[in-house]
Structure 1
Amino acid sequence: MAAPLFRFFGKASRQLTQPWASWRPFVRHFSTPAAGFPPLQTYTEEEAMMKETVKKFAQERITPFVSKMDENSMMEPEVIRSLFEQGLMGLEISTEYGGTGSSFFSSILVIEELAKVDPSISVLCDIQNTLINTLIIKLGTKEQKEKYLPRLATDMVGSFCLSEVGSGSDAFSLRTRAEKRGDQYVINGSKMWISSAEYAGVFLVMANADLSAGYRGITCFIVDRDTEGLHIGKKENKLGLRASSTCALTFDNVTVSEKNILGKVGQGYKYAIGMLNEGRIGIAAQMLGLAQGCFDHTIPYTKQRVQFGKPIFNFQGMQHQISHCVRDADQISHGMQHQISHVVGCSIRSLMGMQHQISHGMQHQISHVVSGDAASDLSWGCSIRSLMGMQHQISHGDAASDLSWGCSIRSLMGMQHQISHGDAASDLSCCGMQHQISHVATQLEAARLLTYNAARLREAGRPFIKEACMAKYFSSEVATLTTSKCIEWMGGVGFTKDYPIEKYYRDCKIVIE
């Protein structure tokens, strides 16, 4: 087998050394079929229509309540009603039960669009569609479906109960137990951090029906809100997602029929794992929408906010990058002082080598700011070569301690101020700011592709766990980056409630968890 392979690669390598005309047909033969594939990000006509409809709905029906709901830590009843009226709480429930009869991918699009306006609303919609409805659709008996799906599609919120005080990340070490008594089960225990608990009408509760079996005893029970012994605790006063209620639940001899078991006894841990994998795609959509909403609110402001006589869209990016250089210099100076003070026999050369690496990082960043031909000679009176020469002296000369350790941010900012007022300031600073904006925009698009890919795989019934984890991780990273950058770009007002940026920033911290 090896000989034919070597002959094939040998022939291919010889072809590469020949004129283009001799091997162009070979390339065309392999590249032509790919032309028939659609772009990575495409929507069906129905999906595009739903995306646009939800976008308009969110802007018109949710936006007016966002600040009030965040301030009061309370979901507006009118908003919940409107979600049901639009069919957004029963997206995958079939029309037979009063649902929309849509797809999983459509649910992800809806979650994303809602998160652009208010992540708290997207949490409510996400849990309802990717956890509650999906579990009952997949595992429910005919009677359970007939009883709960019509209401979940039209007027009843559901809540998923897994986490406990001592079992958050290690969810399957839960202590809530369900003791079998005849044809009934008696549930005792407590749950923490239960989303939507304040207004939920039904709870899917994970409890252990066989303690001796460990996590293999975990079973899913359907518990109605009005069941005796179920107590909903005080709402948490959270940093973010304040409109989304998060409460503790206590089960004091809560008695349910064995008909309330969802799926099979002892299979709850499998159901939870499966649903949480799908939930990761929902969280990715939340983070994606949150980041996009924050970004969309910020960019217009950067074109309006004027500093030093020009919009910050055209100015402040370079200052930000220079400050990163200052930060790096400060970090290395403190690091070197620490090592010199505490490490016996430390080699000065190794320390200078480390400083040299940082200084070259600064050089790269400065070159990146000015870009292109400007790196050789800045027409506005400050030669990059002279800056690099100074950097070379700093990293290699005897004055390293004075220059790098005593580096003043004001002096660098003063240098930047001179740079910014030169002839080429407009073009160069514009590159700096627009580079940051384009970087964030690219990250957002990459997160969207990862999220959509995971959703498409799940919808197609193909393995998607890896892709779901990647989507959640990357979208969370992008949301953190985006909200942090937007706060910086907005300046002081970014931290005030006059603009929604600080809310996106707070909400991001909660959704990640």
Structure 2
Amino acid sequence: MLSRFVRLGSRQFFSTATSPFQPLVVFSEENEALRESVSRFALERVGPKVKQMDRDQKLDESLLKELFDQGYMGIETPAELGGAGLNLTSTMVVVEELAKIDPAVAVVVDVQNTLVNPIVKTFGTDKQKQEWLPKLATGTLGSFCLSEASSGSDAFALKTTAVDKGDHWELNGSKMWITNSKEAGLFLIFATVNPAAGYKGITAFLAGRDTPGLRVGKSEDKLGIRASSTCEVIFEGMKLPKDAVLGKVGEGYKVAIGTLNIGRIGIGAQMLGLAQGAFDYAMPYLHERKQFGKYIADFQGMQLQYAEAATMIHGARLMVYEAARLHETGRPFVQEAAMAKWNAAQVASHVSRRAIEWLGGVGFTKEFDAEKFYRDSVIGQIYEGTSNINLETIAKNIQKKYRQ
């Protein structure tokens, strides 16, 4: 490889004839093999179940088992603890590929890998890691319990309390809109031990499903991602041992905030996959159906629309994987995660709506899958930080740069 020093301005730089850097859309052989494997699994195993799961508002139990068997539920968990020992980019690949077929299944995998597993791995004691990470990788679904009826975007206005009873904690309260809660075997619960302390009173706890006083309430009848369960979770005099605390008492806000920033990248990948799935579903139709003697795809007005959509998808993919790689390399990523999530949600909404328009009358029917992609896209602008909350995060980071 030829190399030399070059001078630009007053500084000298090392230059190589062949750049060592790879484009963002070029993945390692390992991740390309993973993408192909997940794509095949999604088409063959998830695809045939999508419509029934959407109608039933229920994740197929056999499919959930297959997700564990494939290793998709412990992607970044160390191999010695039962996981695949891969990286965040690998998680994004899996979520994106699953979302191309069913965004509901994708979010089940996403929450496990970007919220539940990282929290236990990062903040858990050695005992908690040894007990729970192997289970979470091989058969136990986890649930992240933060939101409440009066605590959504204002995430730390919690009413659920945890009282120190000397030899145990007692929790009372309820959580709303909790993903994976219907099937979960482990609950990560955020409660306040000192309401007067505000967010500094928030503490995280681990609770198994069979804990007395824990009850999963009604499932929400949702517009989209209907195979992913969303339920109320209720705590009535629930007793937890003193070592159920995850992290430090009063530092639950650190547990939640740090992980939610990673979770935003995951939702970005879900929305990216959704947009690509809707696009791939509609495009063949445009090349098969003729009107006025021409394929629909050949009309200039239509070309402009799908060219725009393809460009938006490509941009979303770059942003999602850039945010993931920033996190992997230990660089600041919070602003990029918010940007990736906000943008991917906008792209998913736009492209899925366009897909219905391109299909015309049949796109408006439930016989075709386009309407489901559109319904599933709506949640992207709500969970893991609403679009406005993500824009606020971006704005605050910009202010730090320009405000003296």
Q: Which of the residues 21, 25, 39 maps onto 1:41?
A: 25
Matched, 1:448 2:325: no
Counting only pairs closer than 5 Å after superposition, residues 275-290 of structure 1 correspond to structure 2 as: 275-290=259-274
Paired residue secondary structure (1:242):
coil
More helix by share: 1
Give the letter for the 1:255 counterpart. Answer: K
Distance 1:31 1:479 in 2: 41
Distance 2:8 2:77 in 1: 50
After superposition, the CA RMSD in angstroms is 1.7
Paired position in structure 2 for 1:474: 343
Counting only pairs closer than 5 Å after superposition, residues 84-123 of structure 1 correspond to structure 2 as: 84-123=68-107
Paired position in structure 1 for 2:141: 157
Paired position in structure 2 for 1:507: 376
User: 1:104 offset after TM fit, Å?
Assistant: 1.0
User: 1:258 offset after TM fit, Å?
Assistant: 1.3
Matched, 1:219 2:194: no
More strand by share: 2
Counting only pairs closer than 5 Å after superposition, residues 400-419 of structure 1 correspond to structure 2 as: none
User: 1:187 offset after TM fit, Å?
Assistant: 0.2
User: 1:74 offset after TM fit, Å?
Assistant: 0.5
User: 1:30 offset after TM fit, Å?
Assistant: 7.9
Give the letter for the 1:489 counterpart. Answer: W
Distance 1:30 1:293 in 2: 43
Counting only pairs closer than 5 Å after superposition, residues 298-377 of structure 1 correspond to structure 2 as: 298-314=282-298
Distance 2:96 2:381 in 1: 15
Paired residue secondary structure (2:380):
helix
Give the letter for the 2:295 counterpart. Answer: P
Distance 2:111 2:144 in 1: 8
Q: Which of the residues 426, 431, 436 maps onto 2:300?
A: 431
User: 1:26 offset after TM fit, Å?
Assistant: 8.1
Paired position in structure 1 for 2:39: 55
Gap runs ≥5 in structure 1: 1-24, 315-429
Paired position in structure 1 for 2:236: 252
Distance 2:14 2:99 in 1: 39
Paired position in structure 2 for 1:487: 356
Matched, 1:498 2:352: no
Further displaced range: 185-194 or 489-498: 489-498
User: 1:35 offset after TM fit, Å?
Assistant: 5.0
Distance 1:39 1:239 in 2: 37
The change in CA–CA distance for 1:495 and 1:223 in structure 2 (over 3 A counts) is same
Distance 2:292 2:58 in 1: 42
Paired position in structure 2 for 1:462: 331
Matched, 1:261 2:248: no
Distance 1:74 1:58 in 2: 17
TM-score (structure 2 length as normaliser): 0.90
Distance 1:490 1:255 in 2: 54
The change in CA–CA distance for 1:440 and 1:244 in structure 2 (over 3 A counts) is same
Distance 1:309 1:249 in 2: 57
Counting only pairs closer than 5 Å after superposition, residues 49-198 of structure 1 correspond to structure 2 as: 49-198=33-182
The change in CA–CA distance for 1:34 and 1:194 in structure 2 (over 3 A counts) is farther
Distance 1:160 1:34 in 2: 49
Distance 1:31 1:97 in 2: 42
State the percentage of identical aligned residues.
50
Give the letter for the 2:282 counterpart. Answer: T
The change in CA–CA distance for 1:26 and 1:275 in structure 2 (over 3 A counts) is closer
User: 1:31 offset after TM fit, Å?
Assistant: 11
Paired residue secondary structure (2:77):
coil
Give the letter for the 1:474 counterpart. Answer: N
Paired residue secondary structure (1:173):
coil
Instruction: Describe the superposition over 1:375-424 as per-residue Cα deviations: whole angstroms up to 9, x where unpaired.
Output: xxxxxxxxxxxxxxxxxxxxxxxxxxxxxxxxxxxxxxxxxxxxxxxxxx
Distance 1:135 1:63 in 2: 31
Paired position in structure 2 for 1:334: none
User: 1:287 offset after TM fit, Å?
Assistant: 0.4
Distance 1:243 1:31 in 2: 53
The change in CA–CA distance for 1:435 and 1:33 in structure 2 (over 3 A counts) is farther
Q: How many residues are paired up?
A: 374
Paired position in structure 1 for 2:220: 236
Paired residue secondary structure (1:190):
strand
Give the letter for the 2:328 counterpart. Answer: E
Give the letter for the 2:301 counterpart. Answer: G
Larger Rg: 1
User: 1:499 offset after TM fit, Å?
Assistant: 1.3
User: 1:511 offset after TM fit, Å?
Assistant: 2.7
Give the letter for the 1:460 counterpart. Answer: T
Instruction: Describe the superposition over 1:240-294 as per-residue Cα deviations: whole angstroms up to 9, x where unpaired.
Output: 0000010001100000011010100011011111111001100100000000000
Paired residue secondary structure (1:241):
coil
Distance 2:254 2:248 in 1: 10
Distance 1:163 1:53 in 2: 35
The change in CA–CA distance for 1:432 and 1:153 in structure 2 (over 3 A counts) is same
Distance 1:180 1:478 in 2: 47
Paired residue secondary structure (2:156):
helix
Gap runs ≥5 in structure 2: 1-6, 383-404
